[in-house]
Amino acid sequence: MADTSNPSPQPVSFAAIVVAAGKGLRAGGERPKQFREWRGKPLIRHSVEALADAGSNPILVVLASDTQDLAERALAGIEGVKFVQGGRTRQQSVANGLEALREQAPQTVLIHDAARPDLPQSVIDRLLGALSAHSGAIPVLPVVDSLAIAQKDGTMGGKAEREVLRRVQTPQAFRYAEILSAHKNWAGEPDAGDDAQVLAQKGGAIALVQGDERLKKVTFAEDFVTEQQAQFRIGQGFDVHRLVEGEELWLCGVQIPHDKGLSGHSDADVALHAITDAVLGGIGDGDIGTHFPPSDPQWRGARSAQFLEHAVKLADEAGYALGNIDLTIICEAPKIGPHRSSMREAVSAMIGLSTDAISIKATTTERLGFTGRGEGIAAQAIVSLSAIRP
Ligand code: CTP
Ligand code: MG
């Protein structure tokens, strides 16, 4: 019997050129911006993956000659990627990419800046849709600020009409034969603003489709800083241990004199357990039981400081540093206030966070519940984490 179920839609096939031969002078850094890390992978990899997912084949990546190694590493394993030598200007880099497609002669080509990592599929769909009736299609956004025309003497002149102006992004979509011929015969400024301008000069009709703020081009050093700041996480943890006679009472790595102590597999430091779970929560890496199973005899009577130290090390490996800790200990007795500063100092010594960033609070539950009856102590913690590597 014929299979009548809907097959998943096949992606439309088209070629793509990703220009990545620039030096990224405005962004600075040890290597050109397109090969720097951006949200966990090389910046260029984001858009090349999006193009591959959208069905682009081949994807020609245009490179400066000394960056081939960087590009090979950054794009390892993505199907359809080929490298082409870039030119002195962006226009020349695009022209080289188009030349390299001659044999294949695709019907449609998308030209994209490697410096725009976030490439939504919806934009690709709009561009390809508009190409059926036009020689080219480009994503644009309205101008939100009012505009002024700057004169050479630094004063304002003329009248700028915001309503008819648009901000232009990439990718830009073209019928291959037309954009190839336009670039080949380009006799304008050595660095054409973009490919649509090259085609427009030849009289090609270019559709304006809705762009996307996410397509923003990474240009300046601050763009990397802002991105790093954006990588901020929080985690929370909660723990309870039973108060019993004949046990020591440890809170935040400090032994506190009391007629009862906390029972548990390790030293039962409920406060450090809550902080440890908050750190693990912030990096999405399980909980204290995942890393230190209570069934494992090696953790019997263990100092809980090592659990927290290990969680902070895992956060570091994941690329995050602790920003601050806010801990609340919930018990009727003992009084926490007199021990607060030694507890903050103990946590600070454990993980190298300044005491200003370690808050230790305590509350009772008004004699209500298990903490109110002195049967146990509860602790909850919240931590902030921020990315340490751009
Ligand atoms: N580009 C290129 N070949 C050139 C110049 C630029 O392929 N000769 C590419 C860049 O790699 C980038 C895109 O064109 O992906 C947009 O250019 P831009 O943002 O100006 O990047 P850079 O020229 O590298 O940066 P800068 O101008 O700050 O040096
Ligand atoms: Mg440039």
For 109, 233, 235, the CA distances from 385, given in Å and listed in that order, are 42, 5, 8
Strand partners, 137: 173, 207
- Higher pLDDT: 183 or 40? It is 183
Using the mean position of ligand 1's atoms as its centre, give its distance from the Cα of residue 106 in Å.
Answer: 25
Identify which ligand lies nearest to the alpha carbon of 25.
1
Lowest mean pLDDT among 55-69, 156-170, 335-349: 156-170
93 contacts 87 by C-beta, under 8 angstroms:
yes
DSSP, res 158: S
Mean pLDDT, the chain, integer: 93
Answer whether 346 contacts ligand 1 (Cβ < 6 A): no
> Closest-lying ligand to the alpha carbon of 21?
1
Q: 15: Cβ–Cβ under 8 A, 6 or more apart, which residues?
A: 56, 57, 58, 59, 60, 101, 104, 106, 108, 109, 110, 176
Atom number of ligand 1 nearest to Cα 94: 7
Element spanning 313, H or E: helix 305-317
With a 6 A CB cut-off, is 18 part of the ligand 1 pocket?
no
- Residue 389 is predicted with a pLDDT of 60
Q: Do residues 247 and 268 touch, judged by C-beta distance below 8 A?
A: yes
Q: Give the three-state DSSP class for 292.
A: coil
Rounded Cα distance between 126 and 208, Å, is 10
Instruction: Find where tokens 């890393």 sit.
Output: 291
Q: Is 87 in the pocket of ligand 1 (CB under 6 A)?
A: yes
Q: Give the type of residue at 348.
A: S
Residue 283 is classified by DSSP as T
Alpha-carbon distance of 123 to 111, in angstroms, equals 13
Q: Shortest CA distance to 31 belongs to which of 20, 17, 16, 19? A: 20
- Tell me the two tokens of residue 349: 């010594």
The per-residue pLDDT for range 192-236, each reduced to its tens digit, is: 779 999 999 888 899 999 999 999 999 999 998 777 666 889 999
Kindly state if the Cβ of 171 falls inside 6 Å of ligand 1.
no
* C-alpha span between 233 and 360 (Å, rounded): 20
25 lines ligand 1 (CB under 6 A): yes
Indicate which atom in ligand 1 lies nearest the CA of residue 89.
8
134 pLDDT more than 60: yes
Q: Which helix (H) or strand (E) holds 201?
A: helix 195-201
At residue 273, the 3 state secondary structure works out as helix
**Mind listing the pLDDT tens digit for each residue in 76-92?**
999 999 999 999 999 99
Is 115 touching ligand 1 by the criterion CB < 6 Å?
yes
* Beta-carbon count within 10 A of 251 CB: 27
Per-residue pLDDT of 191-201, as tens digits, reads 777 999 999 98
Q: For ligand 1, atom 26, name the residue with the nearest CA.
A: 24
State the pLDDT confidence band at 4, using cuts at 50, 70 and 90. very low
Let me know: does 232 contact 324? Beta carbons within 8 Å.
no
Copy the structure tokens of residue 80.
């359809």
Give the nearest ligand 1 atom to 113 CA.
Answer: 15
Q: What is the CA radius of gyration of the chain?
A: 30
At 146-173, the pLDDT tens digits run 999 999 999 998 888 899 999 999 999 9
Distance between CA 335 and CA 28 in Å, rounded? 54
Q: How many CA atoms lie within 13 A of 236 on its CB side?
A: 4
Q: What is the pLDDT of residues 253-289, one digit of tens each?
A: 999 999 999 999 899 999 999 999 999 999 999 999 9
Closest-lying ligand 1 atom to the alpha carbon of residue 116: 15
Q: What pLDDT is attached to residue 2?
A: 46
pLDDT digits (tens, 9 = 90+) for 285-312: 999 999 998 888 888 888 999 999 999 9
Asked whether 114 lines ligand 1 (CB < 6 A), one says yes
Atom of ligand 1 nearest to the CA of 23: 24
pTM here is: 0.68
Ligand closest in space to the Cα of 27 = 1
